[in-house]
Amino acid sequence: MPKLRLLVNTQTPLVQFLRVPRDTRTPTESSSVDLTQLTEGVDYRFSPGGVTRMVYPLLRKLLADGVLEDAHWVSLNPNAPATAHLPGISLHHVAIDPERMAGYGTTKEAIWATAHGLVSKAKSEGLFWTDDATEYTFYNRTTAMRIRELDHDLDFDLFYIHDFQQLPVGQMLGTLKPKIFRWHIPFDVRSIPVDWRPVMQRYLSAYDRIVVSSDRYRRELERLGHRGDVLRIYPYIDPAEYRTRPTAADVGAVCEKFGILRAHSVGLIVARMDPTKGQDRALAALALVKNSLPNLRLVFVGNGSFSSSKGGLGLSKSDRWRARLDEEVRRAGISDRVVFTGHVTQAELDALYERSDFSILPSVNEGFGLVVVESWIHRRPALVTDRAGVAELITDGENGLLFDPDSVTGLARQIRRITADDGTLRRRLVDGGRRTARTCSLETAARQERELFESLVGG
């Protein structure tokens, strides 16, 4: 296969600018910045979140393996230079005005909440007829036009569109070149309002391949009536990034920072502050076991997403959710049992995993749940909601402990089970998890993605 020129499209940009260089926000020749000349953490930072975290390592690997000639990444980034460059990867930023952004944000949050089962189908009916939805269309049309301009100049071989925010882009591109769409969030036909289905089918059918994160979602797409090719590729992380174990000093520093004592048994919850992440379920379970497990501490890592951050889209919902969790903590009398760390550095996160005894993914619904794979790589047993995509890889008691997020007693039972263990269960879960993590490695996914590209572009 000849080297490919790939177009990637995500809503979330790869990087968020902490300081936007002067004269770079208008789309002129001089509006391009070289990220290698800027300082990470000072001028910019990499966006948190699963999509960018998966796509960037994949692009780097495919560039290193000679699969890609170069990659161009179009995303929504209103507070950024028009373009930015990394070796082999050009970032192109789309901006829409704040009024339109508000309408777009409302619509995409409604889609998100519906897909995650957070609002009833009845409440979501008619969404695509609202004025706000026209801004969702506007954003996607603007993005599609930008991609068309780039294609006019650069002649891409393949278009790889990511996530529900960008779903209409394929239909709007109107190109005969191959197009792939990756669906990252949960997909359950039962949660999709009837009047959304033809809209979704129309958009989905514009793509040559759909990639989903679990076999369950593939079956659900068939139930929706989608007749095109659907491929399952499990989300992935690069285990090589976790080879360096934190030192005792690193762990000590992070424990001191967050008040974690030697005697504590630590359950780690790594998720952004969002109702769908189910932190409230973990708090409720903690309230149930607080008397029997006085040394148990739950450590919640994470703050808002790109959408809710001030440097991002400014659609703050994380603050509201955090305030509600604080209220739950006060009401349950467990203030001394929980730690909210907010955003932590990767080094601190590694140290927290090292210090933890187990991790919990309590999400109400979860497209996949890469933090479970992260936990496995850190050799920590994972307690996992059975509504996550990753749950189909888990056999209870073999490589994880499953629970229904709507059953607080179920989660409390699994917490008791792992904390009461004499080591046998823990070893089995850790070994099983490590084996399963290989299924979700960058190496495995890159091979599958390469095969996918070959099937569309020719080997």
Partner 1 sequence: MSGLGMVTGFNLVLLDVGIIVALTALFAWIVNLILRGVMRASNPQVAVAMRRLGVTVVVAVGAVLAVQELGVSPSILLLVIGLVAVAAIVAIRVPLENAGARFFSGIYSPFKVGDTIRVAGQTGRVIEINAMTTILLSEDDRMVALPNSTFLGQPVENLSPQAWKELVVPVTLSGSTDLAAFESRMLKSLSKLRLRLDPRFPPVFTVKSRSVQGADVVLTVMVRRPEDREPVLAEVNLRVSEELDHSRQSVPKPSALSEPPSGS
The residues of the shown chain that bind partner 1, judged by CB under 8 A, are: 25-27, 78-79, 82, 92, 94-98, 100, 125-126, 128-131, 133-135, 137-138, 141-142, 145-146, 148-149, 152, 171-172, 174, 194-195, 197-199, 202
> For residue 310, which of 6, 68, 78 has the smallest C-alpha distance?
78
Q: Which is nearer to partner 1, 130 or 448 (CB)?
A: 130
Minimum separation from the CB atom of position 395 to partner 1 (A): 40
Whole-angstrom distance, CA of residue 143 vs CA of residue 167: 11
The β-bridge partners of 247 are none
Q: Which is nearer to partner 1, 1 or 145 (CB)?
A: 145
Minimum separation from the CB atom of position 329 to partner 1 (A): 37
> For residue 4, which of 55, 57, 65 has the smallest C-alpha distance?
65
Contacts of 334 (CB under 8 A, 6+ apart): 283, 286, 287, 290
Q: Which is nearer to partner 1, 43 or 151 (CB)?
A: 151
Q: Do 429 and 399 form a contact (C-beta atoms < 8 A)?
A: yes
Q: Which is nearer to partner 1, 135 or 220 (CB)?
A: 135
Minimum separation from the CB atom of position 191 to partner 1 (A): 17
Minimum separation from the CB atom of position 142 to partner 1 (A): 5
Minimum separation from the CB atom of position 318 to partner 1 (A): 22
Q: Which is nearer to partner 1, 124 or 279 (CB)?
A: 124
Minimum separation from the CB atom of position 95 to partner 1 (A): 4
Whole-angstrom distance, CA of residue 149 vs CA of residue 248: 52
Distance of alpha carbon 352 from the chain centroid? 20
Q: Do 147 and 9 form a contact (C-beta atoms < 8 A)?
A: yes
Q: Which is nearer to partner 1, 82 or 408 (CB)?
A: 82
Q: Which is nearer to partner 1, 177 or 426 (CB)?
A: 177
Helix (H, G, I), strand (E, B) or coil at 93: strand
Minimum separation from the CB atom of position 88 to partner 1 (A): 21
Q: Which is nearer to partner 1, 25 or 219 (CB)?
A: 25
Give the type of residue at 125: E
Give long-range contacts, CB 8 A cutoff, 24+ apart: 217-221: 217/183, 217/186, 217/187, 217/389, 220/187, 220/188, 220/189, 221/183, 221/187
Minimum separation from the CB atom of position 183 to partner 1 (A): 20
Classify residue 448 by burial, with Cβ atoms within 10 Å: 0-12, 13-18, 19+: middle
Could you tell me the two tokens for 127?
């969404």
Classify residue 244 by burial, with Cβ atoms within 10 Å: 0-12, 13-18, 19+: exposed
Contacts of 2 (CB under 8 A, 6+ apart): none
DSSP letter assigned to residue 164: G
Q: Which is nearer to partner 1, 189 or 253 (CB)?
A: 189
DSSP string, 72-84: EEEEE-TTS-SEE
How far does the chain reach from its first CA to its final CA, in angstroms?
4
Whole-angstrom distance, CA of residue 352 vs CA of residue 358: 11
Minimum separation from the CB atom of position 11 to partner 1 (A): 15
Q: Which is nearer to partner 1, 52 or 77 (CB)?
A: 77
Q: Do 400 and 449 form a contact (C-beta atoms < 8 A)?
A: no
Q: Which is nearer to partner 1, 4 or 133 (CB)?
A: 133
Minimum separation from the CB atom of position 177 to partner 1 (A): 15
Minimum separation from the CB atom of position 77 to partner 1 (A): 9
Q: Do 28 and 83 form a contact (C-beta atoms < 8 A)?
A: no
